[in-house]
Chain A
């Protein structure tokens, strides 16, 4: 059995643990030519000091937290509402068709969705702005206006992911005994009372679990999405930790500085994820292994 684990283990060591040890770059004046384990100059916390003093870095952290908390809240509430409403549908065919349609965007990459959004949100020719103008309003530059950009990010993320969440909640609902609804009907409960006292408690475990697990992702504001939708004019409101690392690291080749930011993110994420798994275990008996 050790032999069976060997190939997988080798992959994990090479592509997860070696990069982890590569975090030492954060404390070095890293010169790529000398190699990952080469004789680099150690400079202590200089990289960290440099980054933390950048005014844009505070903005980036703030953007990340702002965007990801909004996504977290809406990403939790919208699927719950949809699951409850879908649960009320009597016609199974309609219910199935809606269920099937709403998570198509989940499977499309952000390159594809980004391409779609760039076209439909364009202020000059986008179909959404044509509609807004038809209603007599000024066109909105969703992707170029710092006021609108975070909103666009959050809403388009909901568009992509809410179907997926809805399915999970609906799956939890299949576990509810229909007898409970019948009993409640006989007792004279109305629709809202049934939703509140039967449907929501039926999903409670899953709600707690998903909420807690998504807390661990607080520093992931969605690199794929932001990268495909942002432009220099919305850096102020839309630049997040991951895009920041990409630009200073891979575009400017400031490896040490970028790794310092990555290190900072990894450590904070480690704490968040550990706490979230611990809570998931405590409150929802969720065990990953």
Chain B
């Protein structure tokens, strides 16, 4: 208390001059944060604007002559719904599969070497894939020879065991107090029961984080769809967007479709599709950022 009262005149004297640094700093950081999302805001504004306003360059960060026509056009296209369905499928199959596999792999690897003798051998088998890989062409040929081309499995199986997630989870498993497991063993539980009855329930936050990672990963992947799917009708949404937004591949449109496209303007249409492609991520963002910070803290900053 004494110290505080003693320092009071000092602080009140200091309070008088404006803290220019704080003002400049806050302004700068807010400006930077706004700049981060401004491009996306511009695209959203474009997507809800009339094509005339968009091509005349009137649209800045708010829709001009509000209309839903580009969304209506997108929604009328079968390819859009088909590719959305492929994306939903790959998330729905891929994420549970990945969670199951990494749980099964992480548990034995989280044991000490004197408990699980071959741990180090297995660990190296997995670790080595982080150091060295076959690269694009051999991977492509492997998937091709397995007969997976043009099937949903080509999008789900090749990356079903992400080794970084294994590392994250096994480190989480290690933090689980040994006493819990020992008590379970005393009661005659097997490793299998211990994993499902003790480790998995305790690791729910970590598993939720990894599930989110995997979902975002599956949703955002576009390249595998592009190379493993021979027919565009099997493209997941991001691959579909890649071909129409980036490559502007209008080759598979009919004449009527091209005409109706001309009415809506390419620009608002693309904007609406970009926005739709990012919409699930934006909707999931509150969860993402909550778990995500935990996840990277868990993964990267363990001393």
Contact = CB atoms under 8 A, between A and B. Distances in A.
A86 interface: yes
A262 B134 contact: yes
A5 B103 CA distance: 10
Nearest to A84: B25
Contact of A167 (B57, B137, B216, B296): B296
Contacts, number: 267
A105 to B, nearest CB: 6
Interface residues of A, number: 93
A189 interface: no
**Chain A, interface SS category:** helix
Interface size class of B (residues with CB under 8 A): 35 or more
A205 interface: yes
B131 A273 contact: yes
| Nearest 7 Cβ contacts at the A-B interface | A19-B134, A22-B138, A262-B135, A109-B220, A8-B105, A19-B138, A1-B108
B264 interface: no
A117 B297 contact: no
Nearest to B240: A111
Given A23-B135, A259-B138, A171 B223 contact: no
B277 A109 contact: yes
Contacts of A168: 296-297, 300-301
Contacts of A43: none
A215 B122 CA distance: 26
B29 A89 contact: yes
Contact of B133 (A20, A103, A167, A249): A20
A110 B238 CA distance: 10
A209 interface: yes
B246 A111 contact: yes
Contact of A11 (B29, B101, B242): B101
Interface of A: 1-2, 4-5, 7-9, 11-12, 14-23, 25, 32, 35-36, 82, 85-86, 88-91, 94, 97-98, 100-105, 107-112, 114-120, 125, 127, 130, 159, 163-164, 167-168, 171-172, 191, 205-206, 209-210, 223-224, 227-228, 242, 245-246, 249-250, 255, 258-259, 262-263, 265-266, 269-270, 273-274, 277, 284-286, 288-289
Contacts of A111: 220, 222, 238, 241-242, 245-246, 277
Given A111-B242, A116-B39, A159-B36, A14 B146 contact: yes
Contact of B142 (A19, A167, A265, A286): A19
